[in-house]
Amino acid sequence: MTLAAQQLRQLPIAVIGAGPIGLAAAAQAHERGLDVIVFEAGDHAGAAVASWGHTRLFSPWEFLVDAAAARLLDASDWDAPVATRIPHGRDLVESYLIPLSNTPELKPVIQYRSTVIAVSRQGMDKTRSAGREHAPFVLRVQTPTGTSSVAASAVIDTSGTYGTPNNLLSSGLEPTNNAAVRRFITGALPDVLGVDRHRFVGQHTVVVGAGHSAANTLLKLAELAATEANTRISWVIRSRTPQRVYGSAADELPARGELGGMVNALVDSGRVTLIDSYEIDNIVADASASGVVLNGRRAGEPYSVAANVVVNATGFRPNLDFLREIRLSLDEVIEAPRMLAPLIDPNMHSCGTVYPHGVDELAHPEPNFFIAGMKSYGRAPTFLLATGYEQVRSIADELAGNHAAARQVQLVLPETGVCMTVAPTADCSGEGAVNDSGDCSVDAATTAGSCGRETSALI
């Protein structure tokens, strides 16, 4: 081993994000004797999950806890949740992520209110190649007290996608006068019955998106409308049918199947107005300044929908801006690692399939740099926390020199049991992906008749 390689190995592995996957990466690295440092933009572990903490997950606890993390917690006399119980997001934070972040092994290595704003190599931008693999990574980290540079031997980006939602327009662009309409638009999974209740009482809310995040919001809005007069609900989807949300009895996550059945009943009863086959071209403020108008096309004909509040449940996309000096190999369509993309591309997989995979599928031209968790799925759906835990287990083995173990990927995951009932449209350029990890939450699957823009999440 060269001197440069020896010096590089003495530096810690940098993990970006202290959500479920980031903390699992830290636990897996610690278990292999690797030094690690974790940067979390929020005030505590699982800050992104906490923002949708009122939402119930689909997966029971048995799928939500990383094995290495559980071993750390067990050594701290952790009171493990009942394996078959299905938690809310807040339970995931309070009963798992906060205790895990406070273990003696992880607490000293996590830095909160620390946002990574750039990643590069020491003395090397993206264009330089000679000796690149032996140059330390440099992370530019912004904190309340200033900006610093931190050196690392490897980087695992588990920063998720919750902070970068898709735009509402079918083109993927923002409304032409976004500043004028922004206050009428809310992100996915608002707390309709809690802190956000005042926004929806007596209003016409339009929920856009054909995933399970949309379904969750529709159910909460229907509960609100049952007691609050003049509260109306419309549901806009691009596809010709919401069958993906409705689900089937074959779904191996029963809570997800139940959710779909309840939304189906709301539409059949008229409590929710379904507007299908609708492409949104622009959103403008209405004349009274009390709401917005969604202008577009329904089944090819001009169509407009007026709303007081619009819920953007069209999914998320990865933030790649701070990785501009890193050599990435990403699929051009869904922005996932190139080797992983064919396994999860919603244009090819309509049944919510989640394929087990590891370090080989996550590799980039940049040695020892990995994107894991929901962000590794780019704009694609079907992510599960268990998938992310297997990812970081494989990465940790690779960084520890256990190359054979890193490639022994064995993981059995639940399927949606739902396939397309309508052939995909010709336009497959849409975006998609909601997550249910701690990068957001839950599980995602393609909408029948669409090419992946409107999705849900799995957790």
pLDDT at 17: 98
pLDDT of residue 265 exceeding 70, the answer is: yes
DSSP letter assigned to residue 404: H
User: What integer is the mean pLDDT of 12-21?
Assistant: 98
User: What integer is the mean pLDDT of 156-166?
Assistant: 95
pLDDT at 311: 98
pLDDT at 384: 87
pLDDT of residue 260 exceeding 90, the answer is: no
> Between 67-74 and 385-399, two packed helices, what is the crossing angle to 10 degrees?
80
pLDDT at 415: 58
Q: Are 404 and 429 in contact (CB under 8 A)?
A: no
User: What integer is the mean pLDDT of 412-431?
Assistant: 40
CA dist 280 and 160 (Å) reads: 26
Answer with the residue of higher pLDDT: 348 or 83: 83
Nearest to 453 by CA among 288, 263, 317: 317
- Residues 189-231: tens digit of each pLDDT: 999 999 999 999 999 999 999 888 899 999 999 999 999 999 9
CA dist 155 and 458 (Å) reads: 26
Strands (E), 84-180: 110-111, 115-121, 137-143, 146-152, 154-157
pLDDT of residue 4 exceeding 80, the answer is: no
Torsion of CA 381, 52, 83, 445, to 10 degrees: -20
pLDDT of residue 394 exceeding 50, the answer is: yes
**Identity of the residue numbered 341:** A
- Per-residue confidence at 422, pLDDT binned at 50, 70, 90? very low
pLDDT of residue 366 exceeding 90, the answer is: yes
pLDDT of residue 75 exceeding 70, the answer is: yes
Cβ–Cβ contacts within 10 Å for residue 252, how many? 12
DSSP letter assigned to residue 87: P
DSSP for 156-210, written as a single string = EE---STTSBPPSSTTSPPPTTHHHHGGGEE-SS--TTTTTGGGTTTSEEEEE-S
Does the predicted TM-score (pTM) go above 0.85?
yes
User: What integer is the mean pLDDT of 272-282?
Assistant: 97
Distance of CA 68 to the CA centre of its chain: 22
User: What integer is the mean pLDDT of 395-399?
Assistant: 98
- Per-residue confidence at 418, pLDDT binned at 50, 70, 90? very low
CA dist 387 and 385 (Å) reads: 5
User: What integer is the mean pLDDT of 398-405?
Assistant: 97
Q: What angle do CA 65, 357, 69 make, to 5 degrees?
A: 20
HSE, side-chain direction, 13 A CA sphere, residue 254: 4
CA dist 431 and 429 (Å) reads: 7
Distances 133 to 9, 36, 327, 367 between C-alpha atoms, Å: 12, 19, 12, 6
DSSP letter assigned to residue 42: S
CA dist 438 and 66 (Å) reads: 13
Q: Which helix (H) or strand (E) covers residue 280, if one does?
A: strand 278-285
pLDDT at 253: 62
Distance of CA 173 to the CA centre of its chain: 20
What are the residue ranges spanned by the domains of the chain? 3-163+316-406, 178-312
Nearest to 88 by CA among 218, 191, 240, 3: 191
- Residues 427-442: tens digit of each pLDDT: 322 322 333 333 333 3
Superfamily of domain 3-163+316-406: FAD/NAD(P)-binding domain (3.50.50.60)
CA dist 295 and 403 (Å) reads: 54
- Between the two ends of the chain, the Cα-to-Cα distance in Å is 41
Using the structure block, give the residue that is written with the tokens 């609900």.
233
CA dist 250 and 262 (Å) reads: 16
Q: Is 108 exposed, middle or buried (0-12, 13-18, 19+ CB in 10 A)?
A: exposed
Q: Which two tokens mark 53?
A: 């903490």
3-state secondary structure of 221: helix
pLDDT of residue 419 exceeding 90, the answer is: no
- Residues 288-308: tens digit of each pLDDT: 889 999 999 999 999 999 999
Write the CB contacts of 58 (distance below 8 Å, at least 6 apart in sequence).
86, 212, 253, 255, 256, 259, 436, 442, 443, 458, 459
Alpha helical stretches, state H, 374-420: 385-399, 403-406
Percent of the chain exceeding pLDDT 90 equals: 75
Percent of the chain exceeding pLDDT 70 equals: 85
pLDDT of residue 44 exceeding 50, the answer is: yes
pLDDT at 180: 94
Q: Does domain 178-312 have CATH number 3.50.50.60?
A: yes
Q: Check if 3-163+316-406 and 178-312 are the same fold.
A: yes
pLDDT at 405: 96
Q: Which helix (H) or strand (E) covers residue 292, if one does?
A: strand 292-298
- Per-residue confidence at 411, pLDDT binned at 50, 70, 90? confident
pLDDT at 376: 97
What b/e readout covers 285-297, taking b as 16+ CB neighbours within 10 angstroms?
A: beeeeebbebbbe
- Residues 80-135: tens digit of each pLDDT: 999 999 999 999 999 999 999 999 999 999 999 999 999 999 999 999 999 999 99
DSSP β-ladder status, 146-152 and 137-143: antiparallel
Q: Are 89 and 436 in contact (CB under 8 A)?
A: no
Among the ranges given (28-37, 245-254, 256-265, 374-383), the one the predictor scored with the smallest mean pLDDT: 245-254
pLDDT of residue 35 exceeding 80, the answer is: yes
Average pLDDT, the chain: 87
What does the radius of gyration of the chain's CA atoms come to, in whole angstroms?
22
